[in-house]
Structure 1
Amino acid sequence: MSLSSRLLTLALLAPAACGKAPAEAPSGQAVMDLRHTRPPGGRAVARWSGDSVTAEELTRRFQEMSPALRERYVDLGSRRDYVESLARFDLLVREALAQGLQDDAEVVEATRRALVARLMRSRLEEARVAITDAELAEAYAARRDDFVRPEMVRLSHVFLAAPRGDDAAEAAARSQAQAVLAQARALHASDFAAFGQLAREHSQEPRTAPLDGDLRFLPLDALSHEFGPEVAQAARALTDEGALSDVVRTEKGLHVLKLRARQPARHLSLDDVREELRVRLESEKRTRAWADYLANVEKRLSLSVDMDALGKVPVDVQAPMRAHTGVMPGTVPAP
C-alpha cells in the first residue's frame, strides 16, 4: 500500500499478531487492530470469519448497563437482536476495509482527530496537580470582586437638564418630565424597549440616551456619586422589576427612573468558595501542563514556520468561495 508520510493506514491485523508490538511503519503511519475480539479465549455466542462475540463480553456489557436498560435483554429474542447488531457492525467494518475505505480522506481525518482528542484527554487526566492553601488564598484575593460585592441595581432613565436656580428651565423640564412619566406609566412594566424609545427621543444625557437610557449595573454608592444621592435613594425604593419612580430632582436636572434588575450583595468567604477555587486552579494547572507538553512535542519533532513563505500565501477576501476539494484538516490552537 503506497501512502504519503502523513497518511494513517488502517489495517485488519491477523489473529496471530494479537498481543505483539505494533508493526513498524513510516512516520505518520500506523497499523490498527480493528477486530471485535482482541483477547483470546472465551465462549463464542456469535461467530463470523476470524472473529466473534463472547459470552464473557456480553456479561460485562450487561453489567455496565443501568438496571432499566438491562431489562430490555431479559428476553432471549432481544438478547439475540443485540448480539446480531454488534456482529453486523463489525461485518460492515470488514466490508469497508475490503473496499479500501480506510484510505478515504474523511476516514483518515476522523481518525486523526480522534487520536488527538484522546491524547489531549489522557494528558489532561494524567496531569497531577496539587493546590496549596497559599494558592487558594492568593486566588481568592485576586478574584475578591467575584465573591464580595455590594448590592447592584440596573436602572434606565430619561434625564432632562435643569440646573438648580434656573426656574424657567426647571418649569419647562418638569412639564416635559411629567409628560414622559405619564407615557411610561401607560406601558407594560416589562416593556423596556418602549421605555428605551422614550429615552432615545427625550433624554438629554448624551452617554445613556443612545443606550435606551440604560445605566447598566451599578452599586448604590456609585449611582449616588455619578448621578446624585436622590437617584440612589429612589433606586432603593424601587423593589419590583419594571417599577417606575416619580420625577426625581438632582442638582443637574430631572430623572424618570425605571428599575431593570437588581443583584443582591455577596459576602462569600474563602471557606465558602474553597472548592470552587480549587477546581478552577486545577483546571488552569492542567491547561498549563498541556501547553508545556505541546511545546515539548513541537521542539522534539522540530516544528518550524517559514514566515517568508507564509507571507506569500494569498488570502483574497473578495474572491468567491469555492467548493471543497478535500476534508478540512484538524487544528489545535496555540497555548
Structure 2
Amino acid sequence: MSLSSRLLTLALLAPAACGKTPAETPSGQAVMDLRHTRQPGGQAVVRWRGDAVTAEELTRRFQEMSPALRERYVETGARRDYVESLARFDLLVREALAQGLQDDAEVVEATRRALVGRLMRSRLEEAPVAITDAELAEAYAARREDFVRPERVRLSHVFLAAPRGDTAVETAARSKAQALLAQARALPSGDFAAFGQLAREHSQEPRTAPLDGDLRYLPLDALSHEFGPELAQAAQALTDEGALSDVVRTDKGLHVLKLRARQPAQHLSLDDVREELRVRLEGEKRTRAWADYLARVEKQLSLAVDLDALARVPVDVQAPMQKPSGPMPGTVPAP
C-alpha cells in the first residue's frame, strides 16, 4: 500500500456494525482513505504529492465558517496562509504514516473511539422517534404526580413521647418541651444545624432523630395521617422559613416544629408539559433503538463470554500499579 495514495490500514470496529458480514471484510481491519481528493475532480488550489485541496473544498470550508470568521480571508494573502496551514497539517500526517505511527496503540484506540462515537451518533439520529398524541397522553397519566401535586412543607421537629391519659408523663414532657422551645428560640432562625443538634440529642422519634429531626417534604394530608391533624394545622400556620411553632400536642406526644421550606402546589396540564414530555419520550425511544441495534450486532458477531476463563483472570488488589502499556480500551455498557 503506497504512501502516495495515503491509505491507512487501522484496527477498526467489526464490520458488521456497518451492515457487512465478517465474510465480506476481514474482521477487525479496514482501509481508511485520508486524502482530501477521495472524490475525483475539482480545481486544485494547493497540491502536494498524491493529494490536493480543491477550490470546491475550500469554498465549502469558508461557507461553514461564521460570517465574522470569514472576513479574515477576504484578502488573498490570508487565504494563502490558510490553505498552506491545511497542507502542512497533511504533510505531517504523511510523515506520521511514513514513521508507522498508524500502528501506535494510542492512535488505534483514538480511532476506535472516534468510530464508535460516530456510529452511536448516527444510529441515535436515525432512530424513528415520532411521538403520537396518544403516547403523550399515556406518558402524562403515568407521570401525573410529577406535574400535579399539592403544597408540600419540609419540617424539622423535636418529639417527646407523651401518650394521652398519662398526666404525670405529659407534665414532665411538656416542661422539657417548653425548655427546648426556649433554646430553639434563642438560636438564629436560619440555624437549622443547631436545631438539628437539639433533635439528635433530645427527640424520641427514632426515624427522624438521626436525621436532625428532618421530616423531608410532605403534603399536609400526609402530615395529618402520619402525626395527626394538630401537626398539619401547626405546619400550615408557619409561613416564614426558620419559623418555630409553639409546643404542639398530638395523640402520641409533644412536638416543637421548625419550618425549613415550602413547595407550592403545582397544577400543570398536558398542554403545559407537552414539549417536555415529547423530548423525554424521544430520548427513551432512541435509547431503546440503540439497545436493539446493539443486541443485533452482538448476535450477528456471536458475542460470547467464557465465564470459566474469565474467573481465572487474576485481580490482585494488593499489587502495586504498573506503568500503563497503552490507553485503556473503550467500553460500551450493556443497555
2:182 corresponds in structure 1 to 182
Correspondences of 1:170-209 after superposition (within 5 Å): 170-209=170-209
Deviation at 1:155, TM superposition (A): 1.0
Q: Distance in 2 between matches of 1:185 and 1:95?
A: 77
CA distance in 2 between counterparts of 1:127 and 1:253 reads: 59
Deviations, residues 134-175 of structure 1 (Å, cap 9, x unaligned): 322222222122122111111111112222333333333233
In 2, Cα distance between equivalents of 1:176 and 1:83: 84
Where does residue 121 of structure 1 map in the other structure?
121
Residue aligning to 1:270: 270
How far the C-alpha of 1:97 sits from its partner, in A, is 1.4
CA distance 1:156–1:76, shift in 2 (3 Å): farther
- Contact 1:36/1:90 (8 A) holds in 2: no
Matches within 5 A, 1:86-165: 86-165=86-165
| Residue matched to 2:217 | 217
Distance 2:120 2:251 in 1: 60
Residue identity matched to 2:148: V
State the secondary structure of the residue aligned to 1:53.
Answer: strand
Measured in 2, the distance between the counterparts of 1:270 and 1:163 equals 47
How far the C-alpha of 1:66 sits from its partner, in A, is: 2.4
Distance in 1 (alpha carbons) for counterparts of 2:32 and 2:140: 48
Matched residue count: 317
How many Å apart are 1:310 and its aligned residue? 2.0
Q: Aligned equivalents of 1:43 and 1:334: distance in 2?
A: 48
CA distance in 2, matches of 1:87, 1:39: 18
Partner of 1:315: 315
Distance in 2 separating the partners of 1:331 and 1:260? 44
Please show how residues 20-99 of structure 1 align to structure 2 within 5 Å: 26-74=26-74, 78-99=78-99
Q: CA deviation at 1:75?
A: 5.6
Gaps (5+ residues) in structure 1? 2-7, 12-23
- Asked whether the 8 Å contact 1:25–1:31 carries over to 2, the reply is no
Counterpart residue type for residue 85 of structure 1 = S
| Partners of 2:190 and 2:84 in 1: CA distance | 58
Cα shift at 1:74 = 4.4
Alignment RMSD (CA, Å): 2.5
Q: TM-score, normalised by structure 2?
A: 0.85
For each residue in 1:192-237, what CA deviation from the matched residue of structure 2 results, as whole angstroms up to 9, or x when unmatched?
Answer: 2222112111111111000111111111100111112121112212
Equivalent residue runs for 1:224-243 within 5 Å: 224-243=224-243
In terms of mean alpha carbon deviation, does 210-219 or 155-164 score higher?
155-164
TM-score (norm 1): 0.85
Aligned residue in 2 for 1:257:
257
User: What CA distance in whole angstroms lies between the structure 2 residues aligned with 1:80 and 1:172?
Assistant: 92
Superimposed CA distance per residue, residues 55-109 of structure 1 (whole angstroms, 9 cap, x where no aligned partner): 4333322322223333444465554444343333222222221211110111101
CA contact (8 A) 1:155 1:214 kept: yes
